[in-house]
Amino acid sequence: ADISRDKAKELKDEINAVSNTKGLRIDPSEATAAVEEILTKTGDLEYAIANLPNIAAVIQATGAGGADIGSIFTELKKLGVENQKAAMMAIDTLNIQGKEGAFRLSSLAKEGPKIFAAYAATGRQGTQAVTELGAALQIIMRGAGSEPEAVTAFEALIRDITRPETVKKLKEIGGIQVFEPEELKKGREVMRSLPALMEEIVTKSKGLS
């Protein structure tokens, strides 16, 4: 991270303090692994430090490894979820969706990077984008045999729905706009909310597979 010895000691002390917080108590090496993952992928030490309490809470809640949790926070940053409060709101939403659906937060920790990367590629941003991908994932999970299969289906759906021929066909036969019209005027292809698109396709096709 190219930081001074004093800064490194400060980081170590912060990791130990957060890891030993009453009610959390996680292995400090897992928090360190999460920070290392964030630093490797983003180089943003301040983001990693600011989110240490969030990271510790998610590690404790899911039992997932620090590197996996670090990957989730890295992907949140790519989706434009940068401050500590917004990141925790996003994680809370995913946790609630997981409890009410079938795709658990602990599984998202392992499979998350692929899901977040696929959705970030559509141009969707912010905590709203996290809510959207979580909702779509829960719906897809109902028709999948396992969580890895749901992830594969999620990636395939985004890939297929944004193909030029699919975009053209959906507009022709159902008047469905895949991309945000206002963003298209600015020369940017930003996909509309995936759950909204899924609902519109199912409704307008009267449920045809």
User: Do 139 and 198 contact (CB within 8 A), yes or no?
Assistant: yes
Give residue 122's pLDDT.
94
Answer yes or no: is pLDDT of 4 > 90: no
CA distance 7 to 69: 23
Residue 111: closest CA among 61, 148, 67 = 148
User: Do 167 and 131 contact (CB within 8 A), yes or no?
Assistant: no
Could you tell me the pLDDT band of residue 156, with boundaries at 50, 70 and 90? very high
Could you tell me the pLDDT band of residue 161, with boundaries at 50, 70 and 90? very high
Give residue 160's pLDDT.
96
Give residue 31's pLDDT.
95
Could you tell me the pLDDT band of residue 63, with boundaries at 50, 70 and 90? confident
Give residue 32's pLDDT.
95
Give residue 100's pLDDT.
79
Could you tell me the pLDDT band of residue 71, with boundaries at 50, 70 and 90? confident
Give residue 14's pLDDT.
92
**Average of pLDDT values for 25-54?**
92
User: 2-6, 84-88, 171-175, 194-198: which has the minimum mean pLDDT?
Assistant: 2-6
Answer yes or no: is pLDDT of 96 > 90: no
**Average of pLDDT values for 179-184?**
95
Give the number of other CB atoms < 10 A from CB of residue 89: 15
Answer yes or no: is pLDDT of 112 > 90: no
Q: Which residues contact 191 (CB under 8 A, 6 or more apart)?
A: 122, 123, 124, 158, 161, 162, 178, 179, 180, 197
**Average of pLDDT values for 42-54?**
91
Mean pLDDT rounded to a whole number for the chain: 91
User: Do 179 and 167 contact (CB within 8 A), yes or no?
Assistant: yes
**Average of pLDDT values for 87-98?**
88
Looking at per-residue confidence, does 209 or 56 come out higher? 56
**Average of pLDDT values for 162-186?**
95
CA dihedral 125, 92, 199, 142 (to 10 degrees): 130
User: pTM of the full predicted structure?
Assistant: 0.84
Give residue 15's pLDDT.
93
Give residue 209's pLDDT.
74
